[in-house]
Amino acid sequence: KGDQGSRGPVSFMITTAPMGRGREFEEGFRLGVSSWVRVADRAMPPRVKCIANYHNGRLGILDAQEQGFDYPLFLTENGKVAETAGSCLFLVRRGGVFTPDINSDILESITRDTAIHLLREDGLEVVERTVDRTELYLAEEAFITGTHQEICPVVSIDGLSIGAGVPGPFVRKLQKRFLDLVEGRGKAPQHWCVPVFS
């Protein structure tokens, strides 16, 4: 069977490395809908952080850069909005926030879950559902979440400005709330804190 047929044992490794923030953290991302589709659940499990899934993202990034965008935005094989290469998408419209649900071939992201919890703690309704491509262009603000991106504004999609085409007040407020939490500023609610002993 060789290595590809191996069933175990499974090893687990975690490494840490400092990652600086890119210009997009302040200026926002310019996304373009990719000609590549998001890897589908019937092909590979997109919900898990599997290194093989990153090749899908890499193909999208190369395509996006060729088109003059910062990052790709993938659709599912059914034409619904999925996510970017390694980060989840949120849209703000008419006082509400919505994001593709976990049945839209997205990663079940820890950062996505954190953003949803923070927004709901602030009394905002967050709807997880399928999202049509047209809705991208109607958003008043948009942002992506991920381990590397944290909370980053999206200022345009397919060359069309989101809102005023600059990071908006909603996203800036959420960015600050997120950074205060993860960097230990202010008084974080106890349920966000885990004691670490050396």
| Residue 74 and residue 37 in contact, taking contact as beta carbons nearer than 8 Å | yes
Question: Which residues face 33 on adjacent strands?
Answer: 73
* Burial (CB count within 10 angstroms: exposed 0-12, middle 13-18, buried 19+), residue 183: exposed
Q: What is the pLDDT of residue 166?
A: 97
Q: What is the pLDDT of residue 148?
A: 87
Q: What is the pLDDT of residue 2?
A: 46
Q: What is the pLDDT of residue 1?
A: 41
Parallel/antiparallel/unpaired status of strands 29-37 and 71-75:
parallel
Q: What is the pLDDT of residue 174?
A: 95
pTM recorded for the entire structure: 0.88
Instruction: Print pLDDT tens along the chain (198 aa).
Output: 445 566 677 777 777 788 788 899 999 999 999 999 998 888 887 887 777 788 899 999 999 999 999 999 999 999 999 999 989 999 999 989 999 999 999 999 999 999 999 999 989 999 999 999 999 999 999 999 998 899 999 999 999 999 999 999 999 999 999 998 888 777 666 667 677 776
Instruction: List, by residue number, the catalytic residues.
Output: 49
Distance CA 196, CA 66 (A): 44
